[in-house]
Chain A
Amino acid sequence: MESQHATEHAHPQLGFWRKYVFSTDHKIIGIQYLITAMAMAVVGGLLSMLMRLQLAWPSHQWPLLGKILPVAFAGNVMEPGFYVSLVTMHGTIMVFFLFTAVLTGGFGNFLIPLQIGARDMAFPFLNALSYWVFLLSCIVIISALFVAGGAPLGGWTAYAPLSALGEASGPGEGAGMTLWITALALFTASGLMGGLNYVTTILTMRTKGLSMMRLPLTQWSLLITAILGLLAFPVLLAAAILLLFDRTGGTSFFIPAGIFIANGVRANSGGHPLLWQHLFWFFGHPEVYIVILPAMGMASDILSTFCRKPIFSYKMMVFSMVAIAGLSFVVWGHHMFVSGMSPFLGSVFTMTTLVIAVPSAVKTFNWLGTVWGARIRFTSAALFAIGFISLFVSGGLSGIFLGTSAADIYLQDTYFVVAHFHLVMAIAPLFAAFAGLYYWFPKMFGRHMNETMGKIHFWLSFIGVYAVFFPMHILGITGHMRRIYDPMFYDFLKPDRAMNVFVSVSAFALASVQLVFLLNFFISIFAGKRAEGNNPWHATTLEWETPCPTGHGNFGDQLPVVHRWAFDYSVPGAANDFVPQTVPPSGEKI
């Protein structure tokens, strides 16, 4: 394996197409994932802007939108069905094609071999295949916006039988829904290829001296995430295939007898709608952690680097991630407290769910312990990592309300849920991803992103996300249902109008600020300040032993040898305030 790589390393330069497009180099694949996911984020973000437009000004006339989207804005007013398809597509794109893709596909691919001292992934071709299947799934999901009937109406959870009955249950439930299922099946297949690769690579290809308990937390989080993916994705794939059979093959996995829809009784019998929910959430809850765990790992490492202080309680950080991952498979029923599932199960799932508060509290405590007595260097990456902690705590705490089944009776399917999951599994991971981009950008492109723009981006985004998502808790308390086209239809929601306008205006501002990031990112690739040396941030982990940007094969003729853990910052008596993992014991004083 190694000699093969060494010869590859000596090969003449590959052509443009082999080097940057059809590459099997994990770094290029990682960057491909990142940029594809960023493009998907722009689409998903724009869809949410349209949603906020409708929620703040229901039934308002938008002549310009009427011209651009004559079907969706027939008579210059947004169609109710279009609104629900926006909800569906925004959720689907953000959960799968942005967060899952950017954190595991993007950072996972880029960082795993670099941080464990390997030359590439265990299966480079499978890795490339996983990206191309992912890209295909992106194309399929986007195409759902353009087919007859429009995008599906089922929400990102696609509850059956709404999703199983075809066009009878609404426009968009025909071709749009079929494309949605196809895209998810492809995405799942891609995720499985990636996960297999990550687990194998981290377990078998660590360089000499890099024991498991010396791994950076990013690597632990990616390993645990990959295992979660391998166990959870097949369940979604199976559920998607069963749903496809129900729609096209005449089966009744999710369709009970006696359904009357579109002026006729369906011939199906014997299925159960709750089966879909059980399968979906058996996947769906681990999926939440597939997104949040890599964010935790990256934020921890970046925080430690810029605090110039070892991560507090490394062992507990690892154990708590393992505990969270384990628990994630026994809590799915908390999405189903009022679904008609046996209320006895509700009691059980409340208990298992609140147990998650324990490892989460441990993590929060350890982040605070890391910042305590630190010497924080306020780079953009550091600020986003600190912001991550604040957002994770805010979103995590509101989860305790929802995990308490009695309170969830009222809060289920309201904006309280929307506030909770956006903060904890969308915005917090987004901040960790931004931290990661500012931090590893020099390693990817050999240049820095502009720090002034980065700081503007942080401060305005940090204020913006709280202005958008914190008030949604209050909307939820007033009873504001999620996924409704016009809240003003209800008398009890009339007082929410001002809050909805505030949230929408904040959301438009927040989205505009992201343009600063996009400009900074793409300009810096070509015109950013050149990174000085291998290790501009004075960090300890192995990727900083390689040049910026890292070449093919990652390391020189010799793979690095590891002698210590990843967090030797501010070691008393050491010559520098950081001791790289490759420095032998008591070599730090030289």
Chain B
Amino acid sequence: MADGNGPGRISVAGLAFAALMLVLILVSIWLFIARPWWFPELASVRGGDIDGVFSAVLIVTGIAFIGVQGTLGYFVARYGTRGTERAGYWHDNPKAEAGLLIGTAVIMTVLVFMGQRVWANIYFTDAPPGTLEVQVTGQQFAWKFHYAGPDGVFGRTDPKLISQDDSNPIGLDRRDPAAKDDVIAVEMHAVVNQPVKVRLRSKDVIHSFFLPRMRYKQDAVPGMAILIWYTPTQTGKFEIACAELCGNGHYRMRAFLFVEKTEQDLNNWLKQQLAEQAGN
């Protein structure tokens, strides 16, 4: 049938396009199911929720992706022509359109609520009382970690006291009694399965505190002190990167998080840092 709704002529171009759509679908399935490259190994409690949201969206978009690319490939292969045959003359289907509209809206609503549950858990819940707090300051191109020490009180800081060299990188006021036992380090230490609060600041431009294995990322903005908290679930050494362009050395703005086995290990490290600081 040349006119109307029947199949058109199969053409090389149509078949080639359909074949490419098939390859695209198969390669995508391989990439997302065999996972030759995937998320770095998970090492925090709430990070698993983030991975869960990702998987939910992946299922929804994956079905849509295969459905649409597959249908497009099929139609293009099936409805070709090399001559002057006519297509069907129809151009409306309000019912199908309404169904699609409502269907998409429902799916998106479900995704919004799923995602917001995780978002709320991360941002709208407070860390348990007594959680260790670390004040993290970004600068071109390094991270500085400030611990309150045994007294649990952070010493006063003032940008005017920041030293030209690296001896007082965050402007800690050493005359403040609360500052006496404060530790300023170039690496971060925390304890496994214990929550840790991070109060993020920046000395100069915007940076972003990125812990890939914890699935955490938060911008450090000058003039703001932003609080996040998370609970590491594995001991070891973890990379911290800067995820916001901050200048020519952006790429090398790396630090490490060491997750210790026990609180005692953390305290030993703090003591050692304090002794080194006093020695300087």
Q: A412-B217, A577-B84 are in contact. Are A376 and B223 (CB under 8 A)?
A: no
How many A-B residue contacts, CB cutoff 8 Å?
332
Tell me the bound Cα distance from A165 to B203 in angstroms.
13
**Smallest CB–CB gap between B135 and chain A, Å?**
15
Q: Is A170 located at the chain interface by the 8 A CB criterion?
A: yes
Contacts of B174 in A (CB 8 A): none
Closest to B36 in A: A474
Tell me the bound Cα distance from A499 to B72 in angstroms.
28
Tell me the bound Cα distance from A274 to B207 in angstroms.
13
Q: A84-B247, A159-B245, A354-B111 are in contact. Are A265 and B159 (CB under 8 A)?
A: yes
Q: Is B241 located at the chain interface by the 8 A CB criterion?
A: yes
- The 0/1 profile, CB within 8 Å of B marked 1, for residues 343-362 of chain A is 10011001100110110011
In contact, A376 and B86 (Cβ under 8 angstroms): no
- Checking B27, B50, B242 against A406 with a beta-carbon cut-off of 8 angstroms, the contacting residue is B50
In contact, A258 and B72 (Cβ under 8 angstroms): no
Contacts of B79 in A (CB 8 A): 307, 371-376
- The 0/1 profile, CB within 8 Å of A marked 1, for residues 90-101 of chain B is 111100110011
**Smallest CB–CB gap between B66 and chain A, Å?**
10
Band of interface residues on B: 35 or more
In contact, B239 and A339 (Cβ under 8 angstroms): no
In contact, A372 and B39 (Cβ under 8 angstroms): no
Contacts of A374 in B (CB 8 A): 8, 75, 79, 87-88
Q: A153-B248, A483-B250, A496-B37 are in contact. Are A404 and B206 (CB under 8 A)?
A: no
In contact, A256 and B206 (Cβ under 8 angstroms): no
- Checking A394, A405, A483 against B119 with a beta-carbon cut-off of 8 angstroms, the contacting residue is A405
In contact, B21 and A80 (Cβ under 8 angstroms): no
Q: Is A155 located at the chain interface by the 8 A CB criterion?
A: yes
Q: Is A407 located at the chain interface by the 8 A CB criterion?
A: yes
**Which residues of A, 184-198, contact B by the 8 Å Cβ criterion?**
none
- Checking A162, A365, A411, A496 against B247 with a beta-carbon cut-off of 8 angstroms, the contacting residue is A162
**Which residues of B, 215-256, contact A by the 8 Å Cβ criterion?**
215-219, 221-224, 226, 239, 241-252, 254
Binds B, one of A3-11, A13-21, A227-235, A382-390: A382-390
Binds A, one of B10-18, B145-153, B184-192, B259-267: B10-18
In contact, B13 and A362 (Cβ under 8 angstroms): no
- Checking A169, A265, A351, A486 against B140 with a beta-carbon cut-off of 8 angstroms, the contacting residue is A169
- Checking A257, A271, A406, A462 against B115 with a beta-carbon cut-off of 8 angstroms, the contacting residue is A406
What count of chain A residues pass the 8 Å CB interface test? Answer: 118
Contacts of A311 in B (CB 8 A): 91
Contacts of A263 in B (CB 8 A): 164
**Smallest CB–CB gap between A176 and chain B, Å?**
12
Closest to B247 in A: A170
Binds A, one of B54-62, B175-183, B272-280: B54-62
Tell me the bound Cα distance from A174 to B39 in angstroms.
39
Contacts of B54 in A (CB 8 A): 401, 407, 410-411
In contact, A261 and B203 (Cβ under 8 angstroms): yes
In contact, B87 and A375 (Cβ under 8 angstroms): yes
Q: Is A330 located at the chain interface by the 8 A CB criterion?
A: no
- Checking A375, A414, A470, A487 against B85 with a beta-carbon cut-off of 8 angstroms, the contacting residue is A375
Contacts of B8 in A (CB 8 A): 374-376
What 8 pairs across the A-B complex have the smallest Cβ distances?
A: A256-B223, A81-B248, A343-B123, A309-B87, A479-B212, A375-B81, A378-B13, A373-B88
